[in-house]
Chain A
Amino acid sequence: MTAILCPGRTILEVEGLTVGFETAAGLVKAAEDVCFSLRQGETLALVGETGCGKSVVASAIMKLLPRNASVRGHANFAGRDLLTLSEKEMAGIRGKDISIVFQNPSLSLNPIIRVVEQVAEPLQVHGCAQRRKSIETAEKMLERLELDSRESRMYPFQFSGGMNQRAMIATSMILTPKIIIADEPSHGLDSGLVDETMRVMMMIKEQIGSSLLLITHDLILAQRFSERMAVMYCGEIVENGKSEEIFAKPLHPYTRALLDCLPERGFHPIPGSSPSMINPPEGCKFRPRCQQARDRCMRKPQIVDGAAEDGDREVRCWLY
């Protein structure tokens, strides 16, 4: 799959990323031939249902997958393929150049270390500041996220979910990384807190000029905060384009079906259920649930570039 041609400079280019997990039940094909590009300063949303492989893509880019994972493909960042780097080289990139906000803030923070210490830790690990200076910088960052100095000296177990999420955001942004990967930042938060968390994250992202890879199953969140969107189904990107255009005119039958599930479009469910990732359907993986499936869908569809009138769309479907 070729990545969409972007007017801005591409900062991360993922090509043919394929991830499998060897399990007792067989090989789980968690991601297959995933390709996308992330431009400088933009927000790209990777959307899809739970279990479709979005977080696996993020973990593969960060080289945080378990040992039973097999990874193929490329993730080109600053002239280097991240997937070929050693653990030591990746440790220099994680946090400093690319940081990740995990989906469960309360589990991602150490409950018995003060929040400000944890936010300051990346500065010390990467040798950017001594302890006292790093604590001061962390306090300033937490203040920008509306956590005062008294709160910053509290422990994560004394924080609400929203406060912990803000602490995670501060930790991921303190080294002003070039890329932030936010994995389900709205997970477990009330709707009011989601807005607040996203607003703060976008504000700091703008201030430090980072790019954001927003991984979410929340389509409305993706529509509101991303410029471009890649829709994943069963480990594959099936449609990729500008968010507003995908919402206005979805091309892939899965994207259409997914958008029809939205409350404002009448809660129309997708027939059937997501297929097994150990034995996925032959050909197009959406075929068993697709209303427009034909015989040709038994063969794997290729990516079609410029499928929409805007010319900035890629679709993996035989209809185009």
Chain B
Amino acid sequence: MLAVLKAEDIGLVYESGLIFKRGHTVLRGINLELHEGRTLGLMGASGSGKSTLGRILAGQQRPTSGRVLFDGEDIWLMPRLERSAYKKQVQMVFQDPEGSLNPRKSIERSIHEVLGLLKVPALQWRSRTKEAFEMVGLSEDLLCRRPAQISGGQCQRVALARVLLLEPRVVILDEPTSALDISVQAQILNILRDLQTDLGLAYLLISHQPEVIGFMAHETIRLEGGEIV
């Protein structure tokens, strides 16, 4: 099976010092593949490089060595249009649900911002929003509220709905439930599993909780000191 997203020998070194440069290796020789409808669990202690690897796969940070391939093409060598399509199709969901949304904008405006960027005709905004909200089990009553006026679980579902509007193929979930209560965690994990079944999404699930990885992941890798062990 062809991997949707593939990391080939990824390495990242941060340099410090003005005259005498010193290198600090964050990631070394990372190889992994993400497949449609499958979840790859990524475990490791704080500071092991999990989130950095997630950002590299999402194209938000360039590695110092190695390649990230999307449908077999290096994301850093893609023509502009193809890279823009890649950016839509590989999305991230972050740990802090409230921090993922603009606190000054209503939920509706945060959602419509995405639809505007996608150049969806304004007439379709309502139906597209409704559809995305239904997928994550949210009521449309929340649209007029601001992030501070809804719960953490609802914020995370709004963030998920916003990601779904982009019709992604790969979602990188960076500790998506660790800031949530156990009851909300169960809700979000079940929604993520159902969405994967319905839409064939490929997930990279970053978590330090073995139970969460065990519930979601088909395969698991562990990072230690920037290397897969």
Q: Which residues of A pack against B, CB within 8 Å?
A: 49-51, 190-191, 217-219, 257-258, 260-264, 267-270, 273-274
- Inter-subunit contact B212/A263 (CB<8 Å): yes
Shortest beta-carbon contacts, A-B, top 9:
A263-B211, A269-B187, A261-B186, A269-B186, A267-B186, A261-B183, A49-B181, A261-B182, A270-B183
Q: Knowing that A190-B46, A217-B181, A219-B182 are A-B contacts, what are 16 other residue pairs whose CB atoms are under 8 Å apart, sorted by A's residue number?
A: A49-B183, A50-B151, A191-B208, A257-B183, A258-B182, A258-B183, A260-B186, A261-B186, A262-B182, A263-B214, A264-B211, A267-B186, A269-B186, A269-B190, A270-B187, A273-B153
Question: Which B133-177 residues sit within 8 Å CB-CB of chain A?
Answer: 151-154
Chain B residues positioned under 8 Å from A263 (CB to CB): 209, 211-212, 214-215
- 28 A-B residue pairings within 8 Å (CB atoms): A49-B181, A49-B183, A49-B184, A190-B45, A190-B46, A190-B208, A191-B209, A217-B181, A217-B182, A218-B182, A219-B182, A257-B183, A260-B186, A261-B182, A262-B182, A263-B211, A263-B212, A263-B215, A267-B186, A267-B189, A268-B186, A269-B186, A269-B187, A269-B190, A270-B183, A270-B187, A273-B153, A273-B154
- Inter-subunit contact B152/A267 (CB<8 Å): no
With A190-B208, A191-B208 as given contacts, are A267 and B154 in contact (CB-CB < 8 Å)?
Answer: no
A270 to B183, CA, bound (A): 6
- Inter-subunit contact B215/A267 (CB<8 Å): yes
> Can you name the residue of chain A whose Cβ is closest to the Cβ of B180?
A50
Q: Would you call the interface of chain B mostly helix, strand, loop, or mixed? A: helix
**Can you list, as one digit per residue, whether each of B186-228 has a CB less than 8 Å from chain A (1) or not (0)?**
1101100000000000000000110110110000000000000
A261 to B209, CA, bound (A): 15
Chain B interface category by residue count: 20 to 34
> Can you name the residue of chain B whose Cβ is closest to the Cβ of A192?
B45
Chain A residues positioned under 8 Å from B208 (CB to CB): 190-191
- Inter-subunit contact B181/A267 (CB<8 Å): no
Q: Would you call the interface of chain A mostly helix, strand, loop, or mixed? A: loop
A268 to B184, CA, bound (A): 10
**Nearest chain B CB to A101 CB, angstrom units:** 20
**Nearest chain B CB to A257 CB, angstrom units:** 8
> Can you name the residue of chain B whose Cβ is closest to the Cβ of A254?
B183
Chain B residues positioned under 8 Å from A51 (CB to CB): 151
Q: Which residues of B pack against A, CB within 8 Å?
A: 45-46, 151-154, 181-187, 189-190, 208-209, 211-212, 214-215
A279 to B189, CA, bound (A): 29
> Can you name the residue of chain B whose Cβ is closest to the Cβ of A265?
B186
With A51-B151, A190-B46 as given contacts, are A269 and B211 in contact (CB-CB < 8 Å)?
Answer: no
Contact of B185 among A190, A191, A264, A267 (CB under 8 A): A267
Chain A residues positioned under 8 Å from B211 (CB to CB): 263-264
- Inter-subunit contact B212/A274 (CB<8 Å): no
Contact of B151 among A262, A268, A273 (CB under 8 A): A273
> Can you name the residue of chain B whose Cβ is closest to the Cβ of A48?
B181
- Inter-subunit contact B185/A261 (CB<8 Å): yes
A34 to B192, CA, bound (A): 36
A164 to B171, CA, bound (A): 35
- Inter-subunit contact A50/B152 (CB<8 Å): yes
> Can you name the residue of chain A whose Cβ is closest to the Cβ of B138?
A273
Contact of B190 among A217, A262, A267 (CB under 8 A): A267
**Nearest chain A CB to B188 CB, angstrom units:** 8
> Can you name the residue of chain A whose Cβ is closest to the Cβ of B214?
A263
> Can you name the residue of chain B whose Cβ is closest to the Cβ of A270?
B183
Chain A residues positioned under 8 Å from B189 (CB to CB): 267
A268 to B212, CA, bound (A): 13
With A190-B208, A191-B208, A269-B187 as given contacts, are A274 and B151 in contact (CB-CB < 8 Å)?
Answer: yes
Chain B residues positioned under 8 Å from A264 (CB to CB): 211
A307 to B62, CA, bound (A): 61
A193 to B183, CA, bound (A): 23
**Nearest chain B CB to A221 CB, angstrom units:** 11
A274 to B184, CA, bound (A): 10
**Nearest chain A CB to B83 CB, angstrom units:** 36
**Nearest chain B CB to A219 CB, angstrom units:** 6
Chain B residues positioned under 8 Å from A218 (CB to CB): 182
A218 to B183, CA, bound (A): 10
- Inter-subunit contact A269/B214 (CB<8 Å): no
Of A49, A270, A273, chain B has the most CB atoms within 10 Å of the CB of A273
A273 to B152, CA, bound (A): 11
> Can you name the residue of chain A whose Cβ is closest to the Cβ of B216?
A267
> Can you name the residue of chain A whose Cβ is closest to the Cβ of B191?
A269
